[in-house]
Structure 1
Amino acid sequence: MKIGLQLYTVREELAKDFEGTIRKVAELGYEGVEFFHYFDRTAEQVKALLDETGLVAIGAHRPYTELLENGEAEIDYLLSIGSRNVIVPYLSEEQRADWDAVTDNLKKLGKQCADKGAVLLYHNHDFELTEKKDGQPAFDFMYGTVPAELLQVEMDTCWVYYGGYDPVEYLGRYAGRTPLIHLKDMKTREDGSAETVVLGEGVVDLKSIITASEQAGTEWAIVEQDECARDPLESIADSMKWLKQHYIQGGTIHG
């Protein structure tokens, strides 16, 4: 697997200095970046920056409603910067009140992506595991209803864990369908909520997840830290340091 960064982790830094932050991510040893916002840069500007830094555009998290309303433009932008992975990042409570409507929309989006040579993925949180549809986790209903050729898995392994399920088991269940994972660590606060932390500083069994991801055929392990207790650039540097100490050999992860 290759190592990428979900840029949401450094969102405040990007807002202040987009180009400088991207260059710093590359300097830290990340091989690719996953976008969530383009900060008013054109596709040509983003592609030039990626070419300069040697970073790969892994994909982009784009709002569900934006994809439904402006799917063609979103797909075209992403293809222009060198990526095929269009990712639905989140569903609001209102949006997921009707899982049948969600799966119908995902089929349409998946077909739209496929017709243009792109791939649609869905990124989970914990609610897809805790909310049930037809007697099963909504996660499984969604992927069981939308065929693999129209929807691939971007498994946030930390949220699977926090949702009460075993990420290793889920990676095995969706082997061959999970090209991307989010590699994330966490601690549980006194109120039961999740606090995301630097890799290796939490309770998630990262070693087993890395091994299971390799076995599942995952291509990219994408580091993400939703909230950082210390400076985000320092946090992603420490996560990379942990990966280099434990798993990275010749630029790729080896579990």
Structure 2
Amino acid sequence: MAASKIAVTLYTLRDFVQTPADIADTLKKVKSIGYDHIQLSALGPVDPAELGSMIRDAGLHVCATHVPFERLQDEPNKVIEEHRLWGCEHIAVGSMPRSYWDDPDGFSRFAADASAVALRLKKAGMSFSYHNHHTELVRVGGRTGLAILVEDSDPALCFEIDTYWIQYGGGDPIHWIERVSNRCPVIHFKDLGVSGREQMMAEIGEGNMNWPGIVAACETAGAQWYVVEQDTCAGDPFDSIAISFRNMTAMGL
């Protein structure tokens, strides 16, 4: 059986990773659920070396991270050193900084700036991805913002497609995964369901997303990691990531 591609982002558990003690405890809980791989995101202050020790002690592997874009521009060497310390080669940014959103040419400008970061990280043996929300599906001059980012950037820039947000914005996750084939090492798995009359985020397999089609597209596109993310949970976030893990395992992932 192939090694599992399943991971979970600590953003889902952000309320439980704000102190070093809480981080250590949360990592152990994540491991006990069955996860072997994590994405670092939304952590409170912690020394990078201490964090690395916590991760190793928990028996986990860092497959990816989210890093503020300003850090990648201002101190790329430090970011690279940290990721080498953690044995991680995939870096992403959660969204464009506000200054780009406020600029009519912001998508094109960010495509150029993000390409420069991606090329620098590529030289260090690392990838750089952009994580979408629904807002990148806004149309600007006949194209969606996400299309501008994909088409106007260097091929070194990768895309961390978030399945929920694509669907929420009226897009097709399968289409967008196929569109960034070989540029999507990490995909965010997030389900979309309905509660009453409202759309809601759901555990993987508990909503209405086309997971067989999404998984097939990921395999064809060369995705290496399927990262569980659930921004909001109806109950305990640890229970939510456990449900997602069980359902993804049942899918054969």
TM-score by length of 2: 0.89
- The answer to whether structure 1 residue 137 and structure 2 residue 144 are counterparts is yes
Mapped partners of 2:173, 2:40: distance in 1: 24
- The answer to whether structure 1 residue 157 and structure 2 residue 140 are counterparts is no
Aligned match of 1:105: 113
- The answer to whether structure 1 residue 43 and structure 2 residue 48 are counterparts is yes
Mapped partners of 1:166, 1:9: distance in 2: 23
User: What's the CA shift string for 1:113-160, capped at 9, x where partnerless?
Assistant: 12322211111111112x1234211111111111222x1111111111
The one-letter amino acid of 1:162's match is Y
User: What's the CA shift string for 1:43-72, capped at 9, x where partnerless?
Assistant: 222222222233211121112233223333
Mapped partners of 1:186, 1:114: distance in 2: 33
Q: SS of the counterpart of 1:15?
A: coil
- The answer to whether structure 1 residue 10 and structure 2 residue 13 are counterparts is yes
Q: SS of the counterpart of 1:57?
A: strand
CA RMSD of aligned residues (A): 1.9
- The answer to whether structure 1 residue 169 and structure 2 residue 172 are counterparts is no
Mapped partners of 1:55, 1:162: distance in 2: 32
Aligned match of 1:179: 185
Report if aligned partners of 2:69, 2:97 keep a CA contact under 8 Å in 1.
no
Report if aligned partners of 1:185, 1:198 keep a CA contact under 8 Å in 2.
yes
The one-letter amino acid of 2:155's match is A
The one-letter amino acid of 2:10's match is L
Q: Once the two structures are aligned, what percentage of the paired residues are identical? A: 27
Mapped partners of 1:189, 1:91: distance in 2: 30
Mapped partners of 2:98, 2:139: distance in 1: 13
Mapped partners of 1:105, 1:57: distance in 2: 26
Unpaired runs of 5+ residues, structure 1, are none
Please state how far the C-alpha of 1:93 moved relative to its aligned partner. Answer: 4.7
Report if aligned partners of 1:79, 1:118 keep a CA contact under 8 Å in 2.
no
Report if aligned partners of 1:84, 1:119 keep a CA contact under 8 Å in 2.
yes
Report if aligned partners of 1:75, 1:86 keep a CA contact under 8 Å in 2.
no
The one-letter amino acid of 1:138's match is G
Please state how far the C-alpha of 1:79 moved relative to its aligned partner. Answer: 2.0
Please state how far the C-alpha of 1:42 moved relative to its aligned partner. Answer: 2.0
Report if aligned partners of 1:152, 1:179 keep a CA contact under 8 Å in 2.
yes
Change (3 A) 1:189 1:133: farther
Mapped partners of 1:190, 1:69: distance in 2: 46
Q: SS of the counterpart of 2:17?
A: helix
- The answer to whether structure 1 residue 20 and structure 2 residue 25 are counterparts is yes
Please state how far the C-alpha of 1:179 moved relative to its aligned partner. Answer: 1.1
Aligned positions, number: 245
The one-letter amino acid of 2:183's match is R
Q: Which moved more, 1:210-219 or 1:42-51?
A: 42-51
Aligned match of 1:124: 132
Unpaired runs of 5+ residues, structure 2, are none
Mapped partners of 1:196, 1:176: distance in 2: 27
- The answer to whether structure 1 residue 147 and structure 2 residue 158 are counterparts is no
Mapped partners of 2:96, 2:217: distance in 1: 27
Mapped partners of 2:69, 2:196: distance in 1: 32
TM-score by length of 1: 0.88
Change (3 A) 1:188 1:89: same
Please state how far the C-alpha of 1:191 moved relative to its aligned partner. Answer: 7.5
Change (3 A) 1:176 1:115: closer
Mapped partners of 2:194, 2:144: distance in 1: 22
Please state how far the C-alpha of 1:34 moved relative to its aligned partner. Answer: 0.5
